[in-house]
Amino acid sequence: MKGMVVMANNVNRVALIGTGLVGSSYAFALLNQGVTEELVLIDLNKEKSEGDAMDLNHGLAFAPNPTKIWFGSYDDCASADIVVLCAGANQKPGETRLDLVAKNLKIFKTIVTDVMNSGFNGIFIVATNPVDILSYAVWKYSGLPQNRVIGSGTILDTARFRYLLGEHFDVDTRNVHAYIIGEHGDTELPVWSHADIGGIPILESFNGEIDKLDEIFVNVRDAAYDIINRKGATYYGIAMGLVRLTKAILNNENSILTVSSYLDGEYGANNVYIGVPAIVNREGIKRVIELNLNEEEKNKFQHSVTVLKETMSPFFQG
Ligand SMILES: NC(=O)C1=CN([C@@H]2O[C@H](COP(=O)(O)OP(=O)(O)OC[C@H]3O[C@@H](n4cnc5c(N)ncnc54)[C@H](O)[C@@H]3O)[C@@H](O)[C@H]2O)C=CC1
Ligand SMILES: CC(=O)C(=O)O
């Protein structure tokens, strides 16, 4: 077009690998919130991601901001700010997240190699399960610094926890301050000792109703199984959590989110990725927040670390 200024590539680019249920829901949420100027979709199933790109582009007329969306290839990752990994197998009814480890590690080895061969030098966000172990794998396979590999960790579990607590107390979920930490999976734990609503410790408000506390946590921990039994997969909640994380990075927000972060002595653990509160900004993970856990929470967290390490050990020796 006459007079049009051609810009250098200084716009935000997100590359999404895996446009299945989680990936396509993320792309839809990203577009609706106008988070990035460019979004490239990549999947083994090229027809699917090409169809998704067409479908999303047809919504552009109703989007808050212009977004360039296309079906691409690994070469497009070269100038991406963020590569989001949602590719791989999901849980079938009865399967745990840890049951997916062998097949998804194999898929990730190829994907991460292809991304790095493009010249990518940005931040990885990992959503595929088991997310803590796959985050560790992405760090190992990519050679990027630990702060530039972020797993979605317990971002979704924390959101579920805040929702259920908000419902119980009839308070806006956004005013509930409470974390789920540990493995994104069966050994995760609630940090009751630091949970509050409007500055009032939640434990005080429960007034000794221990059964109700347990019930809320069990509903959080088992939410994925409950949803998978009903509709085969979960995707909207994680998609919105991934958008929240993307915004924290691209907008340099210094937001505190419970993400899968590399621990190097924090919480008495090392050489593991696991869900903990961390400050997230344009650098990726700026800092892990080390909560002063009580003894019971410390023991549960250590158990979670042990289970992750035992599951990982056959795949990462030495
Ligand atoms: N972190 C979290 O909180 C959550 C994680 N998940 C996980 O997200 C992952 C994806 O789940 P869904 O989207 O439901 O699965 P899906 O089966 O709908 O989509 C997976 C996509 O990955 C693609 N894919 C497989 N191998 C590939 C390769 N080598 N290269 C490129 N693309 C490839 C498939 O073609 C498919 O489009 C699963 O591991 C699931 O457990 C799901 C929900 C929440
Ligand atoms: C599937 C999964 O990881 C979740 O919904 O929590």
The minimum-distance atom of ligand 1 relative to the CA of 49 is 37
Rounded mean pLDDT, 261-285: 98
Asked if residue 85 lies in contact with residue 125, where contact means CB atoms within 8 angstroms, the answer is: yes
Q: How far apart are the first and last CA of the chain?
A: 57
* Percent of the chain with pLDDT strictly greater than 70: 97
Is the model's pLDDT at 8 over the cut of 70?
no
Rounded mean pLDDT, 14-29: 98
Report the candidate in 239, 251, 174, 238 with the shortest Cα–Cα distance to residue 29.
Answer: 239
pLDDT at 4: 40
Query: Which residues is 249 bridged to in the sheet?
Result: none
Q: Which of 58, 168, 184, 194 is catalytic?
A: 184
Report the candidate in 276, 26, 9 with the shortest Cα–Cα distance to residue 122.
Answer: 9
pLDDT at 9: 56
How far, in Å, CA of 264 to CA of 139, rounded? 14
Q: What is the mean pLDDT of the chain?
A: 95
* Percent of the chain with pLDDT strictly greater than 90: 92
Per residue, the 3-state secondary structure of 198-213, as one string, reads: CCEEHHHHHCCCHHHH
Rounded mean pLDDT, 266-282: 98
Rounded mean pLDDT, 87-98: 94
Residue 182 backbone zone (phi > 0: left; psi -120 to 50: alpha; other: beta): left
pLDDT at 318: 57
Residue nearest to atom 28 of ligand 1 (CA): 44
pLDDT at 210: 79
The minimum-distance atom of ligand 2 relative to the CA of 97 is 3
The minimum-distance atom of ligand 1 relative to the CA of 87 is 22
The residues, ordered by sequence, that sit 6+ positions from 187 with a Cβ below 8 Å of its Cβ are 300, 303, 304, 307, 308
Is the model's pLDDT at 77 over the cut of 90?
yes
**What is the CA(187)–ligand 1 centre distance, in A?**
22
Structure tokens at 176: 């509930």
pLDDT at 55: 98
164 Cβ closer than 6 Å to some ligand 1 atom? no
How far, in Å, CA of 209 to CA of 224, rounded? 25
Predicted TM-score of the model (pTM): 0.96
Is the model's pLDDT at 196 over the cut of 70?
yes
- The kind and range of the H/E element at 259 are strand 255-264
- The kind and range of the H/E element at 305 are helix 295-312
Structure tokens at 164: 């259920």
Q: Which of 4-8, 73-77, 117-121, 168-172 shows the lowest mean pLDDT across its residues? A: 4-8
Q: DSSP 3-state assignment of 132? A: helix
Residues belonging to the binding site for substrate are: 91, 97, 129-132, 157-160, 234
pLDDT at 207: 75
- The verdict on whether 184 is a catalytic residue reads yes
Is the ipTM above a cut-off of 0.90?
yes
pLDDT at 139: 98
CA atoms within 13 Å, Cβ hemisphere of 248:
25
pLDDT tens digit string along 36-59? 999 999 999 999 999 999 999 999
How far, in Å, CA of 208 to CA of 66, rounded? 52
The arrangement of strands across the sheet holding 284-288 comes to 68-71, 38-42, 13-17, 82-85, 123-126, 149-151, 255-264, 270-281, 284-288
Q: Which of 141-150, 170-179, 200-209, 290-299 shows the lowest mean pLDDT across its residues? A: 200-209
